[in-house]
Amino acid sequence: MSDTVARTKVDGGEFAVLCVGGFLLSIAYGVTFLIPMLVGQRGGNEALAGLIISAATISTVIIVIFSGHIADAIGSARAVAISGLFLAASGLGFATVSAAGLSLMTVGFVLGIGWGTFYALGPILVAAITESEHRIRFFALLSGSMMSGIGAGPIIGRIVTGWSLPIETAFAFAFLASLVGGALYFLLHVRLTSAGKILPHVNKISFATACRVIASRAIYSIAMVGVGGAIFGGLSSFQTSYAKAHGFDYALFFIGFMSAAILSRLFAAGYVVKKDPFYSLLVLTSLTLASILLFLLVTSSQLVYLGAAAMLGVGYGLTYSVINGLAANEAPTGLMPQSLLLFSLSYFIGVFGFPLIAGNLIVSSGIQAMLHVLLLLAVVNVAIVLFRIVYRARNG
């Protein structure tokens, strides 16, 4: 029986469990930014690392398409709890598999199943327990918790290597965190079910419903999150390579990015959601563009490196929160869950698919070539926002 909850006032305890569990599960994805280091120690390069990361694309596309069916069959919270087992298995696999080829690609495939399920169904749970006018705020809080976990992953890697422990220790930590996070979501499932917060089965996505969503205004946010995912995936997955090339400590990037992303969600999201979302997006996407320019042009200052990461955290982080809310609110009537599933699918194609391109670019043309491509992608998102502003001004 589905445990998708009714749209009543959000319960603080339920939402806290959702966020803490989300933080713990997100560590499993965060440690994948250490894969270039892991592969490098085993004789591989960035191209192989990109291939391993992109192996998750296949499984995430499949799981996102069917995640609504799974949620309707067993409940969203219970499905996320099970995804914790897959994330735990991926952490254990990265920690213990000694080969750097097909075996690690298989582990990447398993990662995609776990991360895809959680990432697709987490926002649906939030949307189900909040009213439309509050969704952007609660999406920001959930995504802030997830971003904290994602950012914590590589920082854990920096700490364990600083203690002269093998990098595999970080993946072992992610294994344990995923088990605890999954257990929390199972407790959430029990709590929601016992409270009788049940809705009919409405999460499934079909070709017809997908076409209706694509034909709606939600498509702009769905496109933007795919582009943004590619930017985030490229910068984060190969940040260890970028930092090594320029003599930086990669932990600075994740500290700056994570701190800015969290603080902006806690203290700025409430202000941003009260403003015109299009003008807010224009400022935020411009910040993302400016941060990539700094990564590209200023390569000798640790302080600028930290500042560029913080700019990215604010720009990308709040952009995601705003367009996540727009994807829900601009969806056709009755198709909000399907819109969010397509939103997640687009994100995954960008965040897992682009590293395959980026890895080969780095090997063939250097890290700067990848940054030039990311700059073009950032321009695309700014252009989408400008188009929406102009279109609205002309058509009302």
Could you tell me if 129 and 15 are in contact, meaning their C-beta atoms sit under 8 angstroms apart? yes
Domain assignment of residue 248, yes or no: yes
CA atoms of 41 and 48, how far apart (whole Å): 12
Block means of pLDDT (10 residues each) for the chain, 396 residues, are: 44 80 94 90 85 88 85 86 96 88 89 90 76 71 84 92 93 97 91 64 77 96 96 91 91 91 78 85 96 94 95 91 89 88 90 90 93 97 97 86
Could you tell me if 121 and 128 are in contact, meaning their C-beta atoms sit under 8 angstroms apart? no
Domain assignment of residue 118, yes or no: yes
DSSP string of 225-277? HHHHHHHHHHHHHTHHHHHHHHT--HHHHHHHHHHHHHHIIIIIHHHHTTS-H
Domain assignment of residue 145, yes or no: yes
Residue type, 35: I
Could you tell me if 201 and 72 are in contact, meaning their C-beta atoms sit under 8 angstroms apart? yes
Domain assignment of residue 5, yes or no: no
Could you tell me if 134 and 9 are in contact, meaning their C-beta atoms sit under 8 angstroms apart? no
CA geometry: angle 222, 209, 280, nearest 5 deg = 25
Domain assignment of residue 143, yes or no: yes
CATH number, domain containing residue 197:
1.20.1250.20
Query: What pLDDT was estimated at residue 42?
Result: 81
Instruction: State the distance between the two ends of the chain, measured CA to CA, in whole angstroms.
Output: 43
CA atoms of 325 and 132, how far apart (whole Å): 8
Query: What pLDDT was estimated at residue 369?
Result: 95
Helices and strands of the chain, counted as H and E runs:
16, 0
CA pseudo-torsion sign 36, 40, 43, 45: positive
Domain assignment of residue 172, yes or no: yes
Contacts of 66 (CB under 8 A, 6+ apart): none
Domain assignment of residue 1, yes or no: no
Contacts of 182 (CB under 8 A, 6+ apart): 21, 25, 80, 81, 82, 83, 84, 85, 87, 88
Could you tell me if 54 and 356 are in contact, meaning their C-beta atoms sit under 8 angstroms apart? yes
Burial class (CB in 10 A: 0-12, 13-18, 19+), 334: exposed
Query: What pLDDT was estimated at residue 151?
Result: 87
3-state secondary structure 84-96: HHHHHHHHHHHHH
pTM of model > 0.75? yes
Total number of domains constituting the chain: 1
Residue type, 25: L
Query: What pLDDT was estimated at residue 279?
Result: 94
Domain assignment of residue 4, yes or no: no
CA atoms of 41 and 36, how far apart (whole Å): 9
Residue 97's domain comprises 12-395
CA atoms of 122 and 125, how far apart (whole Å): 5
Query: What pLDDT was estimated at residue 218?
Result: 95
